[in-house]
Amino acid sequence: MDINEKSFALGSKRSIIREIFEYSKTRAGEIGADKVFDFSLGNPSVEPPAEVDKAIKELLLTESATALHGYTSAQGDLAVRKAVSDNINSRFNLNLTPDYIYMTCGAAASLSICLNAVVNKGDECVVFAPFFTEYRVFVENAGAKLIVSMPEEKTFQINVSDLESKINENTKAIIINSPNNPSGVVYTEKTIKAVCELLERKQKEYGKVIYLIADEPYRELVYGNVSVPYLMNYYANTLVCYSYSKSLSLPGERIGYVAVNPQMQNAKNVYLAVCGAGRALGYVCAPSLFQRVILKCINAKVNVEAYEQNRNLLYNSLCEYGYECVKPDGAFYLFVKSPLESATAFYEMAKKFEILVVPCDDFGVSGYVRIAYCVDKKRIENSLPGFKKLAEILIKK
Ligand code: PLP
């Protein structure tokens, strides 16, 4: 074939989430959207904060259209990068300057950029199961090998001894995603400290840098008093991949950033490699209008309480019916042990009750499904009788 085989294979590969989404649309046409309980997509159900709407309107009225829709510098508008670095500094007690911020099209672009900035062919990158499935695509496309570290049983925290067994002289980076998609787990400070101590030790042992890539699109979505350790404060060689997709409910606008820790080894060169990777991948000049929106809305927040109410309703109900669930402290996913050995078999059975969940084998942990509860609360309420019946059939108490 006269095209790129790898890209062809990737484009043709069946995506279970896309398949469920298509099925959901067809089924909604047949029986009505209110009768289909689709929990497959991580699309925010909470509206962006009012400040976002106001900022867009103001910008359209007050700024010249050519400036507003024109190119910014490749790494992003200076004032926007300054707002981002000031925001990080004030929240996490750091000293970043705009020279360490690169505006991107969301966390997906941030991850691709960071990986392409630091890995060379033959390097390995460790991810923690369960993991966002796109990591495999991003890591392999950057030329590295994906290595999966298995979690602690039940808590789904990072298993530090398993991680140790996965690190060798080829390890170039690890990706930490907390709050986690698909488990909803927030890694504790104790876990983070243990991971960072291990990385420091391994860097010394192998006489090389191991980068920590923090994938943080869900940082702001946490419940109760849970706090998410800011990794630059624990480990110098950290790059942060941030996104406003979930924190401001703007996934379609494609806006986020990469922050390079100025304290890391050769920080200036790493930032230049980030700029170079952005250039090579075509991720230059993140959407101009939304860069300006971020400048005006840097402290805005979505209504996290709505997600917390959904979490409480779903988690409490499913536990009561006998399902084994991982309690999510953040993000908007519930990770549930499939009552059948095969998560796909459970997915098929739930479908008969018009409930659409995602079997998680591709996330690196078999026998679990993911329920995205970023939906209208009514959908959860109306789905509960179906979940209850499924439990009565499948779970022996
Ligand atoms: N990382 C994780 C863990 C995600 O769940 C997602 C999206 O769902 C992304 C990255 C990509 O986010 P973005 O839409 O900002 O590119």
| Residue 245 alpha carbon, nearest atom of ligand 1 | 15
397 falls in which pLDDT band (50, 70, 90)? Answer: low
For 321-376, write each residue's pLDDT tens digit: 999 999 999 999 999 999 999 999 999 999 999 999 999 999 999 999 999 999 99
Instruction: Tell me the pTM.
Output: 0.97
Q: How far is CA 97 from CA 2, 152, 272, in A?
A: 46, 37, 14
Considering only the C-alpha atoms of the chain, give the largest distance between any 2 of them, rounded to a whole number of Å.
Answer: 66
14 falls in which pLDDT band (50, 70, 90)? Answer: confident
Q: Rounded mean pLDDT of the chain?
A: 97
List ligand 1's pocket residues with C-beta within 6 A: 42, 106-108, 132, 177, 181, 215, 217, 243, 245, 251, 256
For 210-249, write each residue's pLDDT tens digit: 999 999 999 999 999 999 999 999 999 999 999 999 999 9
Residue 251 CA, chain-centre distance (Å), reads: 11
> Per the structure block, which two tokens stand in for 341?
């050995």
For 273-327, write each residue's pLDDT tens digit: 999 999 999 999 999 999 999 999 999 999 999 999 999 999 999 999 999 999 9
Distance 103 CA to ligand 1 centre (A): 15
pLDDT at position 1: 76
Distance 236 CA to ligand 1 centre (A): 24
For 19-73, write each residue's pLDDT tens digit: 998 999 999 999 999 999 999 999 999 999 999 999 999 999 999 999 999 999 9
Task: Kindly report the protein residue whose alpha carbon is nearest to atom 5 of ligand 1.
Answer: 181
Distance 108 CA to ligand 1 centre (A): 6
| Residue 106 alpha carbon, nearest atom of ligand 1 | 15
> Per the structure block, which two tokens stand in for 372?
């995205």
> Per the structure block, which two tokens stand in for 79?
């004032």
> Per the structure block, which two tokens stand in for 259?
């922050």
Distance 210 CA to ligand 1 centre (A): 23
